Amino acid sequence: MAEHRVNRQIRAREVLLIDQNGEKRGVVPIQEALTVAQEAGLDLVEVAGNANPPVCKVLDYGKLSYQSKKKKQVAAKGKTELKEISFSMKISDHDIETKMKKARQLVEKGHKLRFNLILRGRERAYADTKGLEQLDKLTSRIADICVVEQKSKGMIGNRLYAILSPLKKVAQ
């Protein structure tokens, strides 16, 4: 949200004034609007600068900026992000456990996951069998808290992938 012009920053000569009770006062000169705001102990804030004449409200600017900041925080909190975790065909059991623990933490926070199985050299020849089998093993280890949303049918570059999204009850 763009910053609003406040009090003396408003450049228009006349404005459509809305008072602190939300009632339209009509088109008034800027000086009169500033006087009304000062008498109420509040600020004159330009809410629609592109309108003709600009629309100004009498309100507490500090409160308005605080509320808009809080709205942004709530909007940012609700967003989920796609997190990637990469595995190779030769990964050890302990490394799998470590990555699965991290994957569980991410799913519990509500993020989507992308498991990448990276195939090197001769491993690529077995992508359709052993590669998909390994990917299924990895996704089944975390199947209690998330579902497979999308899975690669074949290799893309040197990778196989699966996209997992959290179950509703876990994300809440």
**Tell me, what CATH number does 50's domain have?**
3.10.20.80
For residue 68, what pLDDT band results from cuts at 50, 70 and 90?
A: confident
Task: Note whether 13 and 92 are same-domain residues.
Answer: no
Task: Note whether 68 and 94 are same-domain residues.
Answer: no
Task: Note whether 123 and 157 are same-domain residues.
Answer: yes
Task: Note whether 116 and 157 are same-domain residues.
Answer: yes
Q: Which of 113, 104, 81, 110 is nearest to 169 (CA)?
A: 110
Q: What percent of the chain has pLDDT over 70?
A: 96
Whole-model pTM: value is 0.53
At residue 9, does pLDDT exceed 70? yes
Task: Note whether 113 and 167 are same-domain residues.
Answer: yes
Residues whose CB falls within 8 Å of the CB of residue 127, separated by 6 or more in sequence, listed in order: 119, 154, 155, 160
Q: Which domain holds residue 40?
A: 7-75
For residue 172, what pLDDT band results from cuts at 50, 70 and 90?
A: very low
Of 52, 75, 98, which residue is a domain's last?
Answer: 75
Whether the Cβ atoms of residue 3 and residue 61 lie closer than 8 Å to each other: no
At residue 78, does pLDDT exceed 80? no
Sequence-ordered strand ranges (E) for the chain: 14-18, 24-29, 43-48, 55-59, 82-88, 112-118, 146-151, 159-166
Predicted pLDDT of residue 94: 95
- Asked if residue 2 belongs to a domain, the reply is no
At residue 167, does pLDDT exceed 80? yes
